[in-house]
Amino acid sequence: MESYRVLEIGGCVRIIVPDAEKYLFGYCSNGWDLLKRTRPLNNKLTDGMGIKYHTKMQLINEVFRQSGEHKYAWDYETLRHSLKEAGFSKVFKKDYLETSNQFLAIDMESRRHESLYVEAVK
């Protein structure tokens, strides 16, 4: 993992990705309520980017692909495992704007409800 290679000992990386666990939990629930809280949708099931969803799977595919920007769906357990395998000594699940270093607080309010926040220390 490139971030591990370039960090000094004790250095920290903050990773923010869509939280697959939240989305899949919403997908498996009855109705759209959980998904509407995770990715704000209006009553016509349209998001802030103007994308209208007819099925829950359309929304899941949009989130996990985002026009090719995303290649993998992450939950905390999987991301923690990958970071530990890369050599990081400590991995922490964080909340929106909760960080050990304010310089790393690049969190976007518009992504707050859908994101997974993780920090890893070399």
pLDDT at position 65 is: 87
User: pLDDT band at 105, cuts 50/70/90?
Assistant: very high
Containing structural domain, residue 117: 2-121
The predicted pLDDT at position 62 comes to 93
Q: What is the pLDDT of residue 68?
A: 78
pLDDT of residue 104: 93
- State residue 88's pLDDT score: 98
Tokens 């009855």 found at: 30
pLDDT digits (tens, 9 = 90+) for 44-69: 999 988 999 999 999 999 998 887 78
Q: Any idea which residue has 């960090």 for tokens? A: 7
Mean pLDDT of the chain: 94
Check pLDDT > 90 for residue 6: yes
Q: How many domains does the chain have?
A: 1
Q: What is the 3-state secondary structure (H, E, C) of the chain?
A: CHHHHHCCCCCEEEEEEEEHHHHHHHHHCCCCHHHHHHCCECCCCEECCCCECCCHHHHHHHHHHHHHCCCCCECHHHHHHHHHHHCCCEEEEECCCCCCCHHHCCCCHHHCCCEEEEEEEC
Say whether pLDDT at 23 is over 90: yes
* Whole-structure pTM value: 0.89
Task: Please tell me the predicted confidence (pLDDT) of residue 67.
Answer: 78
> Residue 49 is which amino acid?
M
